[in-house]
Structure 1
Amino acid sequence: MIQKSILSPFQKFVNIESFSGVLLLIATIIALLWANSPFRESYQSLWQYKIGFTAQNFELSKPLLLWVNDGLMAIFFFLIGLEIKREFLIGELNSVKKVAFPLFGALGGMLIPVLMFFMLNNKVETSVGWGIPMATDIAFSLAVLKVLGDRVPLSLKLFLTAFAIVDDIGAVLVIAVFYSGNVNIVLLLVAMALLGLLYFLSLKGFYSKFLIIIFGIAIWVLFLKSGIHPTIAGILLAFSVPVRQKIDTPTFLDKLVNITNNIKKAAVSKKPILCKEQIEQIEDLDDWTNRYQSPLQHLEHKLHDWVAYFIIPVFALANAGVVINGDTSMEQPLIWNIIICLVLGKSIGISLVVMIAKKLRIVEIPEEITHWHIIGVSFLAGIGFTMAIFIASLAFESSLIYIDSAKIGILIGSLISAIIGFFILSNTGKKSFRKANKNSSTQSEDDYLSIPCSNKK
């Protein structure tokens, strides 16, 4: 019943993420130009400007950069949490058969780059950056696939999306376990108690967005002060949002008919305002609409544009401004290490593990996806950008040289990965895909606009 009542707007998701990738690129270019222009001091002073407040026994004051990385990115992680919950309940990860293909790809795409990083690393101080080449930037990678159009099968886009979500889960766990500070157990327990209360209310069918906001702010502050990175609070908070509707479609349609009839019967005012009866019916309609909507789907829909078109570009603008000139010392081995891990570690890891799993018949790969498709998309997975820069800022927070070096490695590695992936996939051939697609029973992209609903008899 849940599956029939929740839309899965995959086509819109791809369009949003693709345009977000374009904005991300524009913001990155602006940040690089600004940071290396005669106005570079204004760039640094803007993001280091402190904002906050101080009370007698409490202080919450941070540079603007950290408000972006700890605050706005918590909303980004909240959206990731909503997507993870949806995918596991009703989406591409809701069965062992569906999850196997992207799971093995994600495992190879995380483990091999990490092993390669340790093998190539030559300094103890930079060894903490092992988590940087793990993650994939879904906005950039889907933007490349969008440019390729129908030269790549829809199932490959679904694989990349599901793969990136599994990849995000791994990155979130790494941040929570390895990139958090000293933990204040008392504050953490208070935060977990508040989360437990929200989970209990969700289980009982109670949901209030105002309660989510109030509890969310409190939990975010508690995580921040406890030593656990506050973005983790966003993920855990998202799991408390119910996916179920309170009423089904037939009930809503019956109420809709009644409300429509009551509005027709109500007196029509000659003035350009509603009469009392019409206002009551409209309020009743709002109430029933809220009951009919899935809270998780509604929140995800409302947040997606804000995250894609505002939060992620602002994050790029704040973090991608690396000063590149001959006077600035850089950690060259770290730069090369990250480039190699993103370009070769990701591509070898994903391709090798997926093909071995296929050979052992552990996973089933759609017929229209060829070996070259897997190799091409594995290079696109090397576009690390957003999550990679985020992990770099946590790993090297005490060293500006290491942070800037890591960012340069991420930017170059992501660019090379995007070019190679695009070249491979564009040369795989439109004809071969169309032939495979014609002979297969794969659904078209329009079929993923929504999950089919049964007609009322």
Structure 2
Amino acid sequence: MKLPGKKSAEAQSRSRRGELAAQLAAPVRSFLATEAGSSGLLLIAVAVALLWANSPWSESYFSLWHTEASVAVGDARLSMDLAHWVNDGLMALFFFVIGLEVRYELSVGALNSRERIMIPGLAGLGGMVVPVLFYLAITQGGEAAGGWGIVIGTDTAFMLGALAVVGPRFATSLRIFLLAIVVIDDIVAVTVIGVVYSGSIQVPELIAAFVLGVILSSLSRFDVWRASPYVLVVLVMWLATLNAGLHASIAGMLGGLLIPARDPSREGVEQAARLFRAFRQSPRADVGRTARRGLQKAVSVNERLQMFLHPWSSYLIVPVFALANAGVDLRDGVLTDALGSALTWAVVAGLVGGKLIGIWGGATLGARFGLGRLPTGVGHGHVLGGAALSGIGFTVSLLIAGLAFEDEPELLARATVGVLLAALVAGLVGWLAFRLSTVLGGQADADLPRYLDRLVDPETDHILGPVDAPLTLVEYGDFECPFCARATGVTKELRNRFGDRFRYVFRHLPLPDVHPHAELAARAAVAADAQGRFWEMHDLLYQHQDEMEYEDTVVYAIELGLDMERFLEDLDSDWAAERVRRDAASAEASGVQGAPTFFIGNRRHTGPYDAETLARELEQLRHEGSGATPAES
């Protein structure tokens, strides 16, 4: 259910459009390991809960969660049993983190454009409507019909864990696609909880919660950059929502959604860098405090809260929730009763069959009718396997089951058995789907390409250093990208370090939707290259990123002493534009997602791109002997 964290660790300029100059831009989340790793702890919590609830000490399990716990400040007092503290308190924090991540995806992430949201949106819609239809068709009304919300949820921690075990070896693109679907699932699931499964509504408290939401959304407009005011408002909004009779998950999700996300601004990053350099030159406590503030202000409150809260949510809140809700006493015929119940099999059919058909059908129909396209590297067999694994409902499914059948323990037991059984069946069906897609469809990896689509060509590529050097670094760059400009220092350091053993190759990746002058700058560099002055123009463009109008490129050409008539003709020529497009198309085919992106030899580099990291990988590649020479790279 939970959407793992966000960006890659390195800084890049990303296109805002789904497709640009033959380059597909889709963000890669960096918290996948956190979610996938937490699934193991979650599985242990489920096992402990089941064993405890069916042991001679089962009474202590159930009595523990009915223990009252109170928080009092003066005459104000909030008292609930531990089960409600978990479900209404900790889970509100869980949904708060989800809300933060959803807001990020909608603002600057995987769902920030119509092209990116269409196919995941259709798949997510199908993955909720079809399961509900399956559930209602099997229960056929009656007292069990009210639990239809059980089958709309997907537990992302379990899903990612299962994907790591039964899915393709490389599945980054598939993960991103499935997580985009979960965003839709998250919003609808919390809405269902708040609207369908809440108690009677208290209007004054509801109005207070609404006012607090307005205050929360206004903080960023007043340039409030500290996290504490946001957290305080969300906490009070949670209390108001709880007293209003709504389920607290509503406050958590809305609180996260109302905290804006943004990419770091160029000015903010440069200011933080200046403050850090000041601290390095004068390591005093007051200078360090100022530098820390500058670093914090450069990153949005949304991202900072995610970074802090995400591990707590994954490694503490979700396992504790599982421990509190997965314990079902299956003795005395309870398991036999559940296996013979239409409710149990309605849950299994909805989560396994409904999710599989709904998600795969929505994605397939959307792509077939031209409403969007599947991510690069993801085939229909991968979607089928991922759709099957989405039937692992667990977290939200158990939460809704507890709300729907709170006063009906027999129905709750049957629904819980159905959720647990569905998780097992969904994992097996997903494994089978992935195996068949590999054997019958040849769809092995569900990942972006990891190697250069075309080898370095001394006849056409921009190469700095000996063309036959044993160490090769290829960069896809954008002349207006501030991160690319700073990376020029890295390449110079590598040239000084390796000397004639190293060659640096620059390929064009202009991103006009975020850098309006980048394409013109790239053509200017190509035009200068026609007169043998590419690297001089390369350096001038990076030195003057704020001066890249047409007239500016003419001034730079004059400074370099170029033949101006030829330069101007080449600048506007079709062949120069085609030269830039060829590099951009190569970027897409090589799995590039933003600028700068580096390749060590012919293998795409991921992670930080400081000089030490790149030098280490260059040396490692040389020792491996897998791309050292031009013929090999």
Q: TM-score over 0.5 for the alignment?
A: yes
Paired AA for residue 204 in structure 2: V
Matches within 5 A, 1:331-370: 332-366=341-375, 368-370=377-379
Q: Distance in 1 between matches of 2:268 and 2:305?
A: 19
2:444 to 433, 443, 447: 433
Partner of 1:269: none
Helix, strand or coil for the counterpart of 1:336?
helix
Helix, strand or coil for the counterpart of 1:60?
strand
Partner of 2:591: 443
C-alpha deviation, 1:434, in angstroms: 5.3
1:239 to 250, 253, 257: 257
1:260 to 280, 299, 304: 280
Would the aligned equivalents of 1:69 and 1:315 in 2 still touch at CA under 8 Å? yes
Partner of 1:299: 305
Paired AA for residue 298 in structure 1: R
Partner of 2:268: 248
1:103 to 102, 110, 121: 121
C-alpha deviation, 1:9, in angstroms: 8.7
Distance 1:399-1:213 versus aligned 2 partners, 3 A rule: same
Matches within 5 A, 1:78-227: 78-148=96-166, 150-227=168-245
Query: Could you report, residue by residue, the CA deviation over 1:146-190 in whole angstroms, capped at 9, with x for unpaired residues?
Result: 224653542211111111121111111111221111111111101
Would the aligned equivalents of 2:99 and 2:254 in 1 still touch at CA under 8 Å? yes
Distance 1:373-1:152 versus aligned 2 partners, 3 A rule: farther
Is 1:323 the equivalent of 2:325?
no
Q: Distance in 1 between matches of 2:606 and 2:403?
A: 37
| Deviates most, 418-427 or 61-70 | 418-427
TM-score using structure 1 length:
0.88
Which of the pair has the greater relative contact order for Cα pairs under 8 Å at 6+ separation?
1
Q: Distance in 2 between matches of 1:388 and 1:60?
A: 27
Distance 1:449-1:301 versus aligned 2 partners, 3 A rule: farther
Would the aligned equivalents of 1:10 and 1:449 in 2 still touch at CA under 8 Å? no
C-alpha deviation, 1:196, in angstroms: 0.7
Paired AA for residue 139 in structure 1: A
Q: Distance in 1 between matches of 2:417 and 2:592?
A: 39
Would the aligned equivalents of 1:114 and 1:131 in 2 still touch at CA under 8 Å? yes
Q: Distance in 1 between matches of 2:135 and 2:93?
A: 30
Q: Distance in 2 between matches of 1:344 and 1:448?
A: 37
C-alpha deviation, 1:221, in angstroms: 1.2
Aligned residues: 436
Gap regions ≥5 residues in structure 2: 1-10, 16-25, 454-587, 594-603, 610-633
Q: Distance in 1 between matches of 2:157 and 2:251?
A: 22
| Larger gyration radius, structure 1 or structure 2 | 2
Paired AA for residue 72 in structure 1: L
Paired AA for residue 129 in structure 2: L
Q: Distance in 2 between matches of 1:283 and 1:290?
A: 11
Query: Could you report, residue by residue, the CA deviation over 1:91-132 in whole angstroms, capped at 9, with x for unpaired residues?
Result: 110111111121111011000011111111134211110111
Q: Distance in 1 between matches of 2:377 and 2:73?
A: 61
Paired AA for residue 383 in structure 1: I
Identity score, percent: 34
Q: Distance in 1 between matches of 2:412 and 2:168?
A: 38
Q: Distance in 2 between matches of 1:63 and 1:31?
A: 18
Helix, strand or coil for the counterpart of 2:247?
coil
Would the aligned equivalents of 2:45 and 2:320 in 1 still touch at CA under 8 Å? yes
Would the aligned equivalents of 2:226 and 2:301 in 1 still touch at CA under 8 Å? no
Helix, strand or coil for the counterpart of 1:61?
strand
Helix, strand or coil for the counterpart of 2:80?
strand
Distance 1:363-1:449 versus aligned 2 partners, 3 A rule: farther
Q: Distance in 1 between matches of 2:80 and 2:228?
A: 26
Helix, strand or coil for the counterpart of 2:282?
helix
Distance 1:181-1:191 versus aligned 2 partners, 3 A rule: same
Paired AA for residue 429 in structure 2: I
1:22 to 40, 59, 83: 40
Would the aligned equivalents of 1:185 and 1:226 in 2 still touch at CA under 8 Å? yes
Q: Distance in 1 between matches of 2:605 and 2:109?
A: 14
Distance 1:444-1:3 versus aligned 2 partners, 3 A rule: closer
C-alpha deviation, 1:248, in angstroms: 1.6
Paired AA for residue 258 in structure 1: A
Partner of 2:555: none
State the superposition RMSD in angstroms.
2.8
